[in-house]
Structure 1
Amino acid sequence: MKSTTYSKYSKKLLFTTFNCAKSQLIPLQDMQGIHNDDLIMALTGLAGGILNNGSTCGVVIGGAISSAMIRDKELSGKWTLEDEIQLLSEIKEDVSWFEDRFGTSLCREREELNYQRITVLGLLNPQKAKGCVARSGASMDYFVEKYAAKNSPHPSLPLAKHPRKGAESGEGTVFPSPVSGRAPFEYFRARGEGSEHCAQKILGEIREKTGIGNEKLEQISVALDGGIGLTGGGCGALSGALMALGLKYALDPQKTEPKKLKNIYRSMDSEFFSMAKILVKNFIKEFEYFECSRITGTKFKDWAQFSQFRNSPSCDKLNNFLVKKTVEIINFKKAS
């Protein structure tokens, strides 16, 4: 299919899945010949800026997760820390493109929306749908072109490798090393440190305690580190917890009668949404914000800075809270 075909498909999915994140993931799965229903289900709670709360746009999240999914296919599931760092660099470039094109990657900052925690169906009313449709279509065109270039016989440099501003003065095009002359992944390997991720850690611990989840989902979720590719957007750990709930309790849009699905999204009233709303309400009560940069008070400039903060007591507190609360919600559901 041509770029325009995937773009049209992406736009159509907004009105059939009612989920902007899935509007990116599903066409890119088709384009790459990947079949992963778990990913589709897991993204249910990440639309509309994380459960329709106006944080990072679901189109951005769906694109980031898709990039990780495609990289996982290229690597045959055999990742190194170097691969993970390079992926985050690539996603950071993708988010920069989106922000340059549309002014912001946060739903609530869209002037035409007057975003007040409205539902996805509210986003997709005739007056407000244009912005969502434009973002979904343009993003899909961007990714189709990006991966077509990568797969061509004479590809241009991947977007993540394009020189950044300041490269002329000798600055690196990827993340700067914490030790002069040494690549970031070599630095952490030399110190004996493993990769400490946001959503991946949450998903792994929830799986250990409940049996919900799988290693493939955990690996792909590294895309959400540091607020989506270290950009300071929606909290990756919270997104990971919502992914676990979505994987188990969300309705499959491809197997659900459209009218029923539309009514569920209108009221946000289903098994999954009831559980997810409890989790998000408790998270905001405890940490106040959705965005990584606001929760941490910093916007990570590189992997080294992120990794140091990721192992801090404040992140440990957030991790423990999310795992405990998510497991409580799941166990309560099982007992009811």
Structure 2
Amino acid sequence: MSRLEILKTYKIYIAGQFPRTESGRFYAAKNAAGKQLANMCLSSRKDFRNAVVAARGAFSGWSGRAAFNRSQILYRIGEMLETRRTQFVDELVQQDLTTAQANAEVNLAVDRLVYYAGWCDKYQQVFSAVNPVASSHFNFSVQEPTGVVAIIAPQNSSLLGLVSVMAPVIASGNTCVILASEQKPLCAVTFAEVLNSSDLPGGVVNILTGKIPELAKWFAEHMDVNTVIYCEKDTANKNMFREKAAVNLKRLHFYDQVDWNSEEGQSPYFITDSTEIKTTWHPVENIAGAGGGY
């Protein structure tokens, strides 16, 4: 007798937990040959709202951590991904990569996490400044995280694209909600299992699976989202984001021209895309009198 394979149901990841979608809907993830690989949650607007609430709740704690501690945690995520490489390679092969391509993608994903782990406690020194002013003040400009970042990850990349857009966002202290690739979703939820077994606090990264046409509008309109990152070339969606993101002055970034497999797929400028400049004026006491120096 032939055995009926039991396909895994991949859940979504919100607030450090793995709930099923509140709508109860699922879709079949298939490879290029049409073989069903797994059952995936078809996330709803309510799931997205729950994820934003979780991300906002985690923001103060995550942004308040020492940069070196965030660096340690990102490095730990890379360690955990490395130890589970066999599973990720298998899922990537199921999603139509060769074994060599799958190994190369896992290697790049691990290296990218280590790259951003190294920048966590260094980007401030590069991009912040002490500004010259014509009065008796110190004037400092520093980078601060914007808050909750909603990300629609690259749809043609199961693992590397997701890691490449997530890591710089959380490196600076932001929290995020990510919509993973609809057609290649397996590694996204498995990566959520890596996050859950690392030291990353629940709610810092929330991962949904589902369809861009259904969820993009809510990513753009949600009033508690501070930044939106969109990685596809769809002109209609770009225009929709430009229009609706203006309602609460969301920052908006399109990463539709980036080759995530190349050197341009990593840069400290990706960190600054989801930060804002805070400038502080501090008076300087004139201890030498009106005509003297500082």
TM normalised by structure 1 equals 0.26
Q: Which has the higher helix share?
A: 1
Q: Which has the higher strand share?
A: 2
Bigger radius of gyration, 1 or 2? 2
TM normalised by structure 2 equals 0.28
